[in-house]
Amino acid sequence: MSPATIFDIGLAVLVLGVAAWTILVRDTFAAVVSFVVYGLLVALVWVRLSAVDVALTEAAIGSGVTGMLLLGAAARLRPAEAGATPPSALICASAAGLCTLIAMGLAATTLILPDPAPTLAPAAMAGLPASGLGNPVTGVLFVYRALDTLLEKVVLVLALVGVWSLAADEEWGGTPEISATRQPDGILTFLAQLLPPVGIVLAIYMFWVGADHPGGAFQGGALLTAMWLLVLMAGVRTAPATGLVALRLVIVAGPVIFLAIGFAGFAWADGFLSYPAGYAKPLIVIAEAALTLSIGVTLGLLALGPRRCMASAPPPSWASGCSASSPARSCYAKFWPSM
Amino acid sequence: MIGSGVFMLFGVIARRGAAGGVDADPVPQALVITGIVVAFSATAMAVALLLRLFKATGEATLAVSAPKDAGGDGDRS
């Protein structure tokens, strides 16, 4: 057995173990932390599956930003957790049995695929030179299936509109609160001042190489989000008010520019979202640049929610810092009191 | 977690579809990247709904005929 096979088997066992722990553990905070670990392990699985683009996306969005979102929710829902009763053993056993059956069935289906399995890889590679791109995944995202990618950006914006719409009337257009107790000499403040320049350069690099190598607008945008959230968590800067016109323009700029390039396809090429010969790559890079910034801001605002701490909720004892009387403290203070 | 399991199934099939000079079929990979972003959007929306419910009622569960543990499980996807 080669070392790579042993590593793969170990990784698979670890992923299954962490997944089971995430589901079984009763404490919400422990479950969220476990979910983040699970996401990072899954990113490793994607690397082993030769899908580096997906690994970057999974690590940044599936694990990082989702973890941040769930941590915030777990902090605020902590008082509701006390009264929750675990489901009965029968329900647990039947759910586990059903899931195992489905997983075994899917695994068997994958194993009996003919070798080589049905694939669109040769077709995708054949059309790639015409677009001037070197990364087939970017090719699929922005050339063959550009409409999917455009609609996905619209879904992101719609989700943000939905999240904001769920804010209470008095919170509408307000500033998402996230700032923890500011500690000018704290490690978080230090990291929030040290990492963003590096992170922003890396994000631009990731978006730029996306045309020819693993990377792209999603990965770069998610990295921007991470840097932004870090700065906000450390309290170095405050989040902008969600009612700010400039902020909203940045959010829609990416999809609007992509859409404009799509409609321009009627004029200079065969139709919607088609690119004129020779200009495909520059146009895709322009669309990706606008999308990177929009994705970064939208993901961050989705993770922040309409308001981080809700002043009018009945303040439970642990969350007294979240009440209107002392807005400077954060829900996170409960989990990381040293912050 | 079920979602990420489905995504990995796509990944395995993509890996088995390696051909034409690439290590894995790029089409399922692109679908999964789109899927991860859309799944995150849906999760954010669900969390916002749950928090609004909690704010309105002080509970993280629906009053009738809902499993009691929705507060613990509803915020994961």
Mean of the per-residue pLDDT values of chain A? 77
Q: Which residue has the higher pLDDT, A101 or B64?
A: A101
Q: Which residue has the higher pLDDT, A235 or A223?
A: A223
CA distance B34 to A313: 35
Alpha-carbon torsion, ordered A145, A146, A151, A157, to 10 deg: 130
Taking an 8 Å cut-off on Cβ atoms, the answer to whether B17 and A120 are in contact is yes
Write the CB contacts of A95 (distance below 8 Å, at least 6 apart in sequence).
none
Find the CB nearest B67 among A87, A123, A302.
Answer: A87
Nearest residue in chain A measured CA to CA from B44: A302
> What string of DSSP letters covers chain B?
-HHHHHHHHHHHHHHHT--TT-SS-HHHHHHHHHHHHHHHHHHHHHHHHHHHHHHHHS-SS-SSSS-TTHHHHTT--
Closest by CA position to A178, among listed A321, A50, A293: A321
Minimum mean pLDDT range among A44-48, A87-91, A247-251, B53-57: B53-57
* DSSP single-letter state for residue A283: H
Q: Which residue has the higher pLDDT, A118 or A288?
A: A288
Confidence band of A94 (pLDDT split at 50, 70, 90) = very high
Confidence band of A310 (pLDDT split at 50, 70, 90) = very low
Taking an 8 Å cut-off on Cβ atoms, the answer to whether A38 and B1 are in contact is yes
A141 inside 8 A of chain B by CB:
yes
**Confidence at residue A98, expressed as pLDDT on a 0 to 100 scale:** 92
Q: Which residue has the higher pLDDT, B59 or A192?
A: A192
* DSSP single-letter state for residue A8: H
Q: Give me the domain span that covers residue A213.
A: 132-339
> What is the domain count for chain A?
1
Q: Which amino acid is at A36?
A: V
Closest by CA position to A262, among listed A244, A286, A293: A286
**Confidence at residue A312, expressed as pLDDT on a 0 to 100 scale:** 38
Answer yes or no: is pLDDT of A141 > 60. Answer: yes
Answer yes or no: is pLDDT of A339 > 70. Answer: no
- Region A173-181: mean pLDDT is 63
Closest by CA position to B3, among listed B30, B35, B28, B34: B35
**Confidence at residue B20, expressed as pLDDT on a 0 to 100 scale:** 59
- Region A96-117: mean pLDDT is 83
Q: Does the residue A74 lie in any domain?
A: no
Q: Give me the domain span that covers residue B40.
A: 2-73
Q: How far is A193 from chain B (nearest CA, A)?
A: 28
Specify whether the CB–CB gap between A190 and A236 falls below 8 A.
Answer: no
Q: Does the residue A233 lie in any domain?
A: yes
Answer yes or no: is pLDDT of B76 > 60. Answer: no
Taking an 8 Å cut-off on Cβ atoms, the answer to whether A163 and B75 are in contact is no
Find the CB nearest B37 among A156, A163, A305.
Answer: A156
Element (H, E) at A40: helix A28-48
> What is the domain count for chain B?
1
Write the CB contacts of A193 (distance below 8 Å, at least 6 apart in sequence).
A234, A236
Chain segment A188-222, per-residue pLDDT in tens: 788 888 888 888 888 888 888 777 777 778 888 88
A57 inside 8 A of chain B by CB:
yes
Answer yes or no: is pLDDT of A293 > 80. Answer: yes
- ipTM score for this prediction: 0.76
Minimum mean pLDDT range among A117-121, A127-131, A333-337: A333-337
Assigned token pair, A270: 């065969």
Q: Does the residue A278 lie in any domain?
A: yes
Find the CB nearest B18 among A76, A85, A121.
Answer: A121
> What string of DSSP letters covers A41-108?
HHHHHHHHTT-HHHHHHIIIIIIIIHHHHHHHHHHHHHHHHTT--PPPHHHHHHHHHHHHHHHHHHHH
Answer yes or no: is pLDDT of A332 > 60. Answer: no
Mean of the per-residue pLDDT values of chain B? 73
Taking an 8 Å cut-off on Cβ atoms, the answer to whether A121 and B11 are in contact is no
Q: Which residue has the higher pLDDT, B19 or B34?
A: B34
Q: Measure the N-to-C terminal CA separation of chain A; round to a whole number of Å.
A: 47
Specify whether the CB–CB gap between B55 and A312 falls below 8 A.
Answer: yes
Q: Does the residue A49 lie in any domain?
A: no
- The SS3 call for residue A215 is coil
Output the pTM of the full model.
0.76
